[in-house]
Amino acid sequence: MQSVLIVGVGGFLGAIARYVLALWIGQKWGRIFPLGTFVINISGSFLIGLIMPLFTERFMVNPQWRLFFAVGFLGAYTTFSTFEFETNGLIRDGEWTLAALNAAGSVLAGFVALKLGDVIAKSI
């Protein structure tokens, strides 16, 4: 039961972080392209790439912290389902180029961010 609470608290904070960041990005740069979701997915990929090797290989922290950050916080923070929904909206609106850019860019940049986090974690 304690693990469920840890994941829940992490998820609560991750969802709030996602909402606030996406709102801020949308207000600052507009919503024509789903930049907020893009930034969240890339930064979430970077953070999980950084945190997991640090938590499991380098510092061997309590597994509850992994539940809090990786499963809870980042699970709620990253927005893959929102990414899919927004990409579908771009296609529905006839914005095929933006949809392709969003899909390819999110996957490629997300993977690069994950690898960057992993490399940084292993060099600490």
Mean pLDDT for the stretch of residues 68-75? 94
pLDDT of residue 12: 98
Domain limits, the chain: 2-123
Mean pLDDT for the stretch of residues 12-25? 97
Indicate whether 35 pLDDT > 90.
Answer: yes
Average pLDDT value for the chain:
94
Indicate whether 82 pLDDT > 90.
Answer: no
- The residue assigned the tokens 């061997």 is 60
When pLDDT is cut at 50, 70 and 90, the band that residue 80 belongs to is confident
Report CA-CA distances (Å) from 3 to 39, 46, 72.
29, 24, 10
pTM score over 0.95? no
Helix (H, G, I), strand (E, B) or coil at 42: helix
